[in-house]
Structure 1
Amino acid sequence: MSTVVKNIIRFMLFILVQVFVLDKIHLHQMVTPYLYFLFVLWLPFNMNRSWQLIIAFVFGFTLDSFNRNPGFHAAACVLIAYLKPHLVNLLIPQEGADDNYEEPSIKSMGGFLPYFIYVAVLTIIHHTWLFLLQAWQFGNIWYFLVKIIVSTAISLLLIIITELLFVRKQKFRTNTV
């Protein structure tokens, strides 16, 4: 299956699962589990950075359209799409696993720990920015911090479950012609 078709299917599935399943779950009126941004984290390594930002914006804006939010998810998705290449460069050894694999995964990033760090850092950044935009104030700082921590923990649990249930086959690309 081509990368474009695979990502179109992922786009639709992540939006549908987030809107029709996860957005209906509210734990103590504080936490809504988020999984949709995993689409942005799974975008291919070799994709042009401008295209990643555009796709992240369209993806977030699509979710905002369903939720009637004025661009909160779009802003959070663009932020993590912007920071993603920097974090990948820090976590992947310089011999270039990103040149040999198509997209970020446990296998392509050299094991569970680097992949988990990649996902955890971007999840924390995503949730912090999203909740800050939604509240637009710190008001009760403890409520804000607990909301970030609990939402991040639940999202990371969902991401690990998703990775275990839907194993993505990674093809090793060689650099030779």
Structure 2
Amino acid sequence: MGVINSEIKPFNATAFKQGEFVDISEADVKGKWAIFFFYPADFTFVCPTELGDVADHYEELQKMDVEVFSVSTDTHFTHKAWHDSSETIGKINYYMVGDQTGTITNNFGVMREGQGLADRATFLIDPDGVIQAMEITAEGIGRDATELMRKVKAAQYVRKHPGEVCPAKWQEGEETLAPSLDLVGKI
């Protein structure tokens, strides 16, 4: 699955966002950082904990010029019903994308064969529409928005500082590396 450094593919969908149904496409992603946060289904168990965790960090992500698109193969109507009936989901202000045709889920290669459900997957897209990071976990393993935030900061740092890389566990403000012949075998 060679998706890193590939451009996102065209799509059209309807999302639920802040009480409204809005049409979106890949054009709405370009020009800013974006997170595509795939999950299997609304009204489930691990999914609301993850979506709520991202909602708790959404304001900070917005300050970093990052938009969030949660995606499942449920409809935008189902997203609204879940938003209206769950305290956890009710705090979401980002896009909840209905992908009932599976176009977006298939574009990212995370459709569960024969199930019509998305894998638990996260993709970080740069302002050029290019995938810079991805994470896919098994059904029972929830993701952590704090770690996602760290990855966003690292990707943004590397984009702004060509020739530098962020080592393992890098946190904003910490030292980075400048790969060179001098570093070979010294790390």
Q: Same fold (TM over 0.5)?
A: no
Greater percentage in helix: 1
Query: Which is strand-richer, 1 or 2?
Result: 2
Looking at CA atoms only, which structure, 1 or 2, has the larger radius of gyration?
2
TM-score if structure 2 supplies the norm length?
0.30
